[in-house]
Amino acid sequence: MRPHVILNAAMTLDGKIATETGSSEISGREDLVRVHELRRESDAIMVGINTVLADDPRLTVHKIDASPEENPIRVVVDSRARTPPHSRVLNNEAPTIIAVSEMAPEGRVSVLRESADVIVTGGERVDLEVLMEELHRRGVRKLMLEGGSTLNYSMITAGLVDEVRVCIAPMIVGGEAARTLVDGEGIKDMADAVRLELIKHYTLGKDLVLEYRVKV
């Protein structure tokens, strides 16, 4: 058993979720309200370690009214326990789980255990299927996946994503090194592409929001 997983992201018209220097303020004010409503509805919110290193996010509900109890559990996928001990994701605003692999140095894991729950799974990288099962066992039924593009790729190609919601902002930045919605190794043959069904589309301010169901 695993949680229902919703991948949510904001991208430019050319599919970038950050510039090549890591600048990533893409969503307009109205879309951020939608994002924080989705955070409030979710039991957990998950990001990859590079997103923590690039953005130092809080991953709480802070753009709309919410009580502290409405913050989702924060989950960081961090094979080698690189989450900086003073990062905001480890503050006391919400509980945090750091998922590491067996490659994580014990010294860094011990430091993280002072402010987070640590789940160890996988040899080189975090085993995402096992992590999803463990989160479900802990009561997580709805999980919001907030990137970045490498984790998005692993989750989607492992068949662990049920819905994709994207905000497309009317901006173009280009850049071969700029992260897109989904990067990773890439599927080689179009016949093997992950297929989606468009469920809903609407504008929010200047942005366009598309909501898809992932076909099984």
Ligand X SMILES: Nc1nc(O)c(N)c(N[C@@H]2O[C@H](COP(=O)(O)O)[C@@H](O)[C@H]2O)n1
Ligand Y SMILES: NC(=O)C1=CN([C@@H]2O[C@H](COP(=O)(O)OP(=O)(O)OC[C@H]3O[C@@H](n4cnc5c(N)ncnc54)[C@H](O)[C@@H]3O)[C@@H](O)[C@H]2O)C=CC1
Question: Which residues sit at the interface with ligand Y, rule CB under 6 A?
Answer: 9-10, 17-18, 22, 24, 26, 47-51, 54-55, 77, 79, 125-126, 128, 146-151, 154, 179, 183
3-state secondary structure of 27: coil
Contacts with ligand X, 145-174, as mask; x by CB under 6 A: -xx-------------------x-------
Give phi and psi for 110, each to the nearest 5: -60, -40
Contact region with ligand X (CB under 6 A), list: 19-27, 72-80, 156-164, 208-216: 19-27
Work out what residue 25 binds among ligand X, ligand Y, none; the CB cut-off runs from 5 to 8 Å by kind.
ligand X
Tell the smallest beta-carbon distance from residue 124 to ligand Y (Å).
8
Instruction: Considering the complex, state which of residue 73 and residue 166 has its C-beta at the smaller distance from ligand Y.
Output: 166
Contact region with ligand X (CB under 6 A), list: 53-61, 93-101, 180-188, 203-211: 53-61
| Pair of tokens at residue 138 | 């802990």
DSSP symbol at 189: -
- Residue 122 in contact with ligand X, rule: CB under 6 A: no
Long-range Cβ contacts of 53-61 (<8 Å, 24+ apart) = 53/82, 53/84, 54/18, 54/22, 54/24, 54/148, 55/22, 55/24, 56/87, 56/88, 56/89, 57/88, 57/89, 57/146, 58/88, 58/89, 58/91, 58/93, 59/89, 59/94, 59/146, 60/93, 60/94, 61/36
Work out what residue 49 binds among ligand X, ligand Y, none; the CB cut-off runs from 5 to 8 Å by kind.
ligand Y
Give phi and psi for 4, each to the nearest 5: -75, 125
- Residue 40 in contact with ligand X, rule: CB under 6 A: no
- Residue 55 in contact with ligand X, rule: CB under 6 A: yes
Q: For residue 176, what are the CA distances in angstroms to 15, 22, 67?
A: 11, 13, 41
Count Cα neighbours of 213 within 13 Å in the Cβ-side half-sphere.
5
- Residue 57 in contact with ligand X, rule: CB under 6 A: yes
Work out what residue 71 binds among ligand X, ligand Y, none; the CB cut-off runs from 5 to 8 Å by kind.
none
- Residue 25 in contact with ligand X, rule: CB under 6 A: yes
Residues that bind ligand X (CB under 6 A): 10, 24-27, 35, 47, 51, 55, 57-60, 146-147, 167
